[in-house]
Amino acid sequence: MNNKEFINELAKQTNLTAGVTTKLINDTVKILEEHFQQNDVVNIPSFGTFEVKKKMERISVNPTTGKRYLIPPKLVLAFKQSNMLKDKFNAE
């Protein structure tokens, strides 16, 4: 499902126009981004939890050359699905 299909499906289910639905999605993403920048944990009931985690620096080796590289620390967005969502997938 691409963005346009998602917007059309959501607009159909909520009886809103595609324009209003697009604005709603964009505003939701903007709010989520603001909370992720503050390292907040975002929990969406019956869906899952988004959390910003810090990956520590590590050493990697190029298998072809054997050369070692230092990979710097970075922040990544992690998602953990809710048990309810997990049960729906495992039930099928």
Of the pLDDT bands very low, low, confident and very high (cuts 50, 70, 90), residue 92 is low
Please state the domain count of the chain.
2
Tell me if 71 sits within 8 A of 57, measured CB to CB. Answer: yes
Task: List the one residue out of 42, 72, 75 whose CA is nearest residue 58.
Answer: 72
Q: For residue 68, what are its two tokens?
A: 């070692």
Q: Give yes or no: residues 18 and 46 share one domain.
A: no
Name the phi and psi angles at 84, rounded to 5. -65, -45
Which pTM was predicted? Answer: 0.74
**87 and 47 belong to one structural domain:** yes
Mean predicted lDDT score pLDDT of the chain: 93
Whether residues 62 and 79 fall in one domain: yes
> How many whole angstroms separate alpha carbon 39 and alpha carbon 77?
10
Mean pLDDT of 8-15: 93
Same domain, 29 and 50: no
Q: Which domain holds residue 23?
A: 1-38
Q: Pick from 42, 2, 6: which is nearest to 21 by CA?
A: 6
Q: Residue 52 is part of a domain; what is its CATH number?
A: 4.10.520.10
